[in-house]
């Protein structure tokens, strides 16, 4: 059965924007992009697109990637300023260049060449939020906001597609890139195994190549739920070893049968939106502590 899932409570907006396209029979990646773009356009979401909270010098710097599960075509952009629809830009990288990832000024130049509008991404509310949350001293990146939107879709033809887009860690160092634009870390999609996305502290997700890890667990026969739990257990054991537990990360997965799974590290309070028909549901993900319980 066709399905759309998206991270966090604001994922409900993404799912609602995506569902009409899914019903029209559009390909999974187009459906996922429409959902992600609805969040990029929402100024009340301070961790994605327009209205995102700035980095340590107050500049909004965006990361995104896309992946098509049928072809394994993919694209990403990182540390992009002044472009609102970075997920669409990542799709353009996939479609119009021989590359997978463009960063910074190169990505912005490509965007302008492709006809994307230059935009101011700060809003009065996001500037106020930046001042309010500005670390006093010795900022710990794990304490700052990092609520990526990842949208995973199973389309009417049984193909999977995914999109991940974020303004990343608030108050991050200029030039910092998280997991979200990195294929395999923030997102991985393969029709022969499943689709997975991550949210939370990018530095920890990158360390285990989190989304690829989840997809490979599904390839090995685990359900999406078991695969996400396996990834959280791996991440937790590494976080304990490194003295950074709990790392605050969550994984979301969808397979070609339409089965959904999600799991999070403790104290993440991760919720995700899911729709397989007309109804949109908000679901609380299972949290696993350092003992894997
Ligand atoms: N997961 C988003 C980030 O760390 O940038």
| pLDDT tens, residue by residue, 69-86 | 999 999 999 999 999 999
pLDDT score, position 263: 98
Q: How far is the CA of 166 from the centre of ligand 1 (A)?
A: 7
Has residue 137 got a pLDDT over 60? no
Residues of the chain above pLDDT 90, percent: 91
Copy the structure tokens of residue 243: 């003295």
pLDDT of residue 142: 47
Q: Which atom of ligand 1 is nearest to the CA of 186?
A: 1
Residue 12's contacts (CB-CB under 8 Å, 6 or more residues apart) are 6, 273, 280, 282
| Ligand 1 binding pocket includes 181 (Cβ within 6 Å) | no
Sign of the C-alpha dihedral computed for residues 208, 63, 15 and 24 taken in this order: negative
pLDDT tens per residue across span 249-259: 999 999 999 99
| Residue 139: predicted pLDDT | 53
H or E element at residue 35: helix 28-40
Sequence length of the chain is 293
pLDDT band for position 147 (cuts 50, 70, 90):
confident
**SS3 assignment, position 279:** coil
Among 187, 200, 264, 268, name the best residue to mutate to test ligand 1's pocket (greatest count of ligand atoms within 8 A of Cβ).
200
Give 30 or 141, the one with higher predicted confidence: 30
| Sheet order of strands, 286-288 included | 187-190, 194-200, 249-254, 260-265, 286-288
Position 146 confidence tier, pLDDT thresholds 50, 70, 90 = low
Q: Please say if the pLDDT value at position 135 is more than 60.
A: yes
pTM (2 d.p.)? 0.96
- Report, as an integer, the average pLDDT of 147-170: 97
Residue 186 has pLDDT above 90, yes or no: yes
Ligand 1 centre distance from Cα of residue 1 (Å): 30
Which position among 148, 165, 166, 268 bears the catalytic label? Answer: 148
Reported as a single tens digit per residue, the pLDDT across 54-73 is 999 999 999 999 999 999 99
Query: Considering only the top CATH level, what class is 3-288?
Result: alpha beta
- Convert the pLDDT of each residue in 218-232 to its tens digit: 999 999 999 999 999
Whether the per-residue pLDDT at 276 is higher than 90: the answer is: no
Distance of alpha carbon 214 from alpha carbon 229, whole angstroms:
9
The residues that bridge with 150 in the sheet, in sequence order, are 164
The encoded tokens of residue 270 equal: 């991760």
d(CA 34, CA 151): 9
CA distance linking residue 145 with residue 142, whole number of Å = 8
* Calpha distance 192→219 (Å, rounded): 7
Residue 178 Cβ inside 6 Å of ligand 1? The answer reads yes
209/32 Cα distance (integer angstroms)? 22
C-alpha–C-alpha distance, residues 210 and 188, integer Å: 9
Mean pLDDT for the chain overall: 95
Centre of ligand 1 from the C-alpha of residue 199, in Å: 6
Question: Is residue 148 annotated as a catalytic residue, yes or no?
Answer: yes
Sign of the torsion angle spanned by Cα atoms 241, 232, 163, 131: negative
Minimum mean pLDDT among 33-37, 179-183, 243-247, 256-260: which range? 243-247
- CA dist 45 and 247 (Å) reads 22
Residue 140 has pLDDT above 80, yes or no: no
> Can you say whether the dihedral through the CA atoms of 48, 53, 55, 61 is positive or negative?
positive
């Amino acid at each position: 059965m066709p399905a759309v899932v998206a991270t966090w409570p604001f994922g409900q907006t993404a799912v609602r924007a995506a569902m009409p396209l899914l019903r029209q029979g559009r390909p999974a990646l187009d459906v996922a992009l429409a959902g992600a773009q609805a969040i990029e356009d929402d100024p009340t979401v301070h961790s994605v697109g327009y209205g995102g909270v700035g980095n340590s010098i107050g500049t909004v710097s965006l990361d995104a990637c896309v992946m098509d599960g049928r072809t394994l075509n993919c694209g990403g952009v990182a540390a992009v300023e002044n472009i609102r629809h970075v997920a669409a830009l990542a799709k353009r990288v996939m479609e119009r260049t021989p590359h997978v990832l463009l960063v910074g000024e190169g990505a912005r130049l490509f965007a302008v060449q492709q006809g994307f509008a230059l935009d101011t991404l700060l809003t009065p509310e996001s500037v106020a939020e930046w001042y309010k949350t500005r670390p006093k001293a010795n900022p710990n990146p794990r304490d700052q906001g990092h609520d990526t939107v990842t949208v995973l879709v199973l389309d009417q033809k049984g193909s999977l597609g995914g999109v991940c887009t974020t303004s990343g860690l608030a108050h991050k160092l200029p030039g910092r890139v998280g997991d979200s634009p990195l294929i395999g870390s923030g997102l991985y999609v393969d029709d022969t195994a499943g689709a997975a996305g991550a949210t939370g502290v990018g530095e920890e997700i990158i360390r285990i190549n989190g989304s690829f890890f989840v997809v490979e667990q599904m390839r090995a026969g685990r359900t999406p739920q078991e695969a996400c739990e396996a990834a959280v257990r791996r991440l937790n054991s590494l976080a304990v070893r490194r003295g950074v537990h709990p790392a605050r990360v969550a994984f979301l997965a969808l397979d070609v049968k339409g089965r959904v799974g999600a799991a999070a590290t403790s104290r993440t309070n991760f919720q995700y939106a899911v729709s397989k028909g007309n109804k949109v549901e908000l679901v609380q993900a299972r949290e696993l502590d350092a003992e894997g319980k």
